[in-house]
């Protein structure tokens, strides 16, 4: 069974640009959540999608958005990139929603560098 797959693994963008990251969950999993990891702030929750609906959102500006498709694949978008958006972005999937008590599995992450 394939794990959580994130693409691209590495990317470099310029300030002001936008970026789209993709996540394919484990087959059969309907919850996808996204996280930002930086040395200063650690691992922070961005948002969760379940059955194409955003269930919860972390404390991030509106430049961070996401969506989930009918096949449970998810994308997150960051618009008007800032230097501080440079981070490892992690996607996770689980069979049920985050608060259902299921094991939550993570992908390898997408390294974003904003220059």
Binding-site ranges for other proteins (CB under 8 A): 4, 6, 33, 35, 42-45, 48, 55-56, 58, 88, 90, 92, 97-101, 103-109, 111
Min dist. Cβ of residue 105 to other proteins (A): 6
Give the DSSP letter string of 2-61: ---EEE-SEEEE-TT--EEEEEEPPTT--EEEEEEEETTTEEEEEEEEETTEEEEE-S--
111 vs 10: CA distance, rounded Å: 5
Q: Which among 26, 22, 20, 34 is positioned nearest to 4, based on CA atoms?
A: 26
Q: Which among 67, 60, 59 is positioned nearest to 85, based on CA atoms?
A: 60
Q: Which is nearer to other proteins, 5 or 79 (CB)?
A: 5
Q: Which is nearer to other proteins, 17 or 100 (CB)?
A: 100
Min dist. Cβ of residue 61 to other proteins (A): 17
Min dist. Cβ of residue 29 to other proteins (A): 13
Q: Which is nearer to other proteins, 75 or 108 (CB)?
A: 108
Min dist. Cβ of residue 64 to other proteins (A): 14
Q: What is the DSSP letter of 89?
A: E
Q: Which is nearer to other proteins, 18 or 54 (CB)?
A: 54
């Amino acid at each position: 069974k394939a794990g959580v797959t994130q693409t691209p693994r590495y990317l470099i963008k310029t300030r002001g640009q936008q970026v789209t990251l993709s996540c394919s969950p484990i087959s059969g999993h309907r919850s996808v959540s996204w996280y930002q990891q930086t040395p200063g702030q650690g691992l922070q929750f961005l948002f969760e999608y379940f059955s194409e609906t955003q269930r919860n959102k972390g404390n991030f500006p509106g430049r961070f958005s996401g969506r989930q498709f009918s096949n449970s694949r998810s994308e997150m978008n960051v618009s008007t990139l800032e230097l501080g958006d440079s981070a490892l972005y992690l996607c996770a999937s689980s069979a049920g929603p985050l608060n259902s008590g299921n094991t939550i599995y993570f992908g390898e992450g997408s390294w974003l560098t904003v220059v």
